[in-house]
Amino acid sequence: MLLRVQLLRRRFMATLAVVGLVAFTGCATVPDRPQVIVTGDAVVDGNAQRAAAPAKDRALWDFRVAASALRAANPAEAKLRLDDALPLIGGILANDADAKRARGLFSAESTKTFIGEPYERVMAYYYRGLLYWRDGQPDNARACYRSGQLIDSDAEAVDNKSDYVLLDYLDGFASAKLGGDGSDAFARAQTNAKGKTLPPYDPAANVLIFADYGRGPRKYSGGEYGEQLKFFTKDSAVHSATLAVNGETVVLPAFDDLNFQATTRGGRVMDHILGGKAVFKRNTDVVGNVALVGAAIAADNAYGRRRRPDGTIETYGNRDAQAAAVALGAIGLLSKLASAATTPKADIRMWDNLPQRLSFAALRLGPGEYPATLEFQDAAGSTLPGLTQTLKIQVEPAARDTVIFLSELKP
């Protein structure tokens, strides 16, 4: 009997292997990615990487190139990249043909079209907003800030409301610029400012300074299956900045912190993201293991031995046990395949050139060119050596505002 049981087990496992192979033969081979020659120009290299990347990563490279283009004083390229990415991520979040699969349970996170975490999507709208304002369209800028507020809010949790300071502050400032009342937005921004006193709106201010500094959060995976999306955050040495221009010093404090935004929801600290998917994998794993153990037990009982009346021993087959072995084996196999298909590894693709801190200031300057000096300070308020930048601010005699983007980070 032992020999027959072993033979049955071997045949049974061979059948499982064949079925498993058939189940996964639909997986396509990933084509080789074209080689990219690095030039040292972040915008050129980023666009080359974007051209070589699979379609699912297009928005990711759009984001990265947009940030590099802003720092390289190339707003036209930044607009081009953001205008490509924003409809793409909007489609995935709404009704794009890929939307169901991108949100589906049985799809590895890293195989989905990249849309980023909320803080990444917010920053895409934040940057697009300042570019709209630069083009004399504060109404479209305001629409971007409001889109960011919606992204940062959790519609299913009443207490998870947007808590970015600058999204609300700039929403109200744009309204004031357009002749409206921005007081409600200002009040929301002040509530989230954590003790900082926000400057009152000056609709006559014609020079808007957007500044950022420090390096933003990094993603990594954790958990039994690598299903937990976690964030590594390191506090930057730069805590504030000042801009000396036209005989005055413009203070640029940190109003928002992307490290905080990445690791919280509604101000509450998270441990990780995607925990729900891992629970499903564990449950199906348990079902599969129990069923396969049951199949093995049934296989043990599929054959037996009994003594004939003449005293000889005969081996007989137990059809019920054989059927049970096959049925339990099928259940176990399906459960195992379902569990494997979820592959709940966290998507750790990231917009890796984001800043940590965001700042803003508005001032009045007449038409002309102004030399300026930008310095960065640590937590104690001391100027950090080696980071000082000199620049020229050109204020045109035009009706629209002059928008200046400043960053500690290199392109």
Average pLDDT estimate for 118-139? 98
- In the prediction, which pLDDT does 306 show? 65
Both structure tokens of 140: 């479209």
Q: Would you give the distance in Å from CA 240 to the centre of its chain?
A: 26
Share of the chain above pLDDT 70, in %: 69
Predicted confidence band of residue 317 (pLDDT cuts 50, 70, 90): low
Q: Would you give the distance in Å from CA 164 to the centre of its chain?
A: 17
In this predicted structure, which of 137-146, 264-273, 278-287, 389-398 has the lowest mean pLDDT? 278-287
Among all chains, which residue has been given the structure tokens 């396509």? Answer: 28
Is residue 364 over pLDDT 80? yes
Is residue 11 over pLDDT 60? no
- In the prediction, which pLDDT does 265 show? 80
In this predicted structure, which of 36-40, 159-163, 360-364, 373-377 has the lowest mean pLDDT? 159-163
- In the prediction, which pLDDT does 118 show? 93
Average pLDDT estimate for 329-335? 58
- Which tens digits make up the pLDDT trace of 185-228? 999 999 999 899 999 999 999 999 999 999 999 999 998 888 88
- In the prediction, which pLDDT does 150 show? 93
Single-letter amino acid, residue 152: D
Average pLDDT estimate for 382-391? 98
- In the prediction, which pLDDT does 83 show? 98
- Which tens digits make up the pLDDT trace of 160-183? 688 999 999 999 999 999 999 999
Average pLDDT estimate for 16-21? 48
- In the prediction, which pLDDT does 70 show? 99
Predicted confidence band of residue 335 (pLDDT cuts 50, 70, 90): low
**Is residue 242 a contact partner of residue 250, using CB atoms and an 8 Å limit?**
yes
Predicted confidence band of residue 279 (pLDDT cuts 50, 70, 90): very low
Per the prediction, the chain carries an average pLDDT of: 82
The arrangement of strands across the sheet holding 389-395 comes to 248-253, 240-245, 368-377, 389-395
- In the prediction, which pLDDT does 333 show? 59
Cα–Cα distance for residue pair 83/63, rounded to 1 Å: 10
Is residue 43 over pLDDT 80? yes
Please say whether the dihedral angle defined by the alpha carbons of residues 35, 40, 46 and 48, taken in this order, is positive or negative: negative
In this predicted structure, which of 29-33, 83-87, 214-218, 275-279 has the lowest mean pLDDT? 275-279
**Is residue 176 a contact partner of residue 199, using CB atoms and an 8 Å limit?**
no
Predicted confidence band of residue 392 (pLDDT cuts 50, 70, 90): very high
Average pLDDT estimate for 313-337? 59
Is residue 362 over pLDDT 60? yes
Average pLDDT estimate for 328-354? 71
Single-letter amino acid, residue 180: G
Cα–Cα distance for residue pair 321/12, rounded to 1 Å: 13
Predicted confidence band of residue 111 (pLDDT cuts 50, 70, 90): confident
C-alpha distances in angstroms, 385 versus 113, 215, 261, 378, 389? 41, 17, 28, 10, 11
Predicted confidence band of residue 88 (pLDDT cuts 50, 70, 90): confident
Predicted confidence band of residue 398 (pLDDT cuts 50, 70, 90): confident
Average pLDDT estimate for 41-53? 98
Predicted confidence band of residue 61 (pLDDT cuts 50, 70, 90): very high
Is residue 242 over pLDDT 80? yes
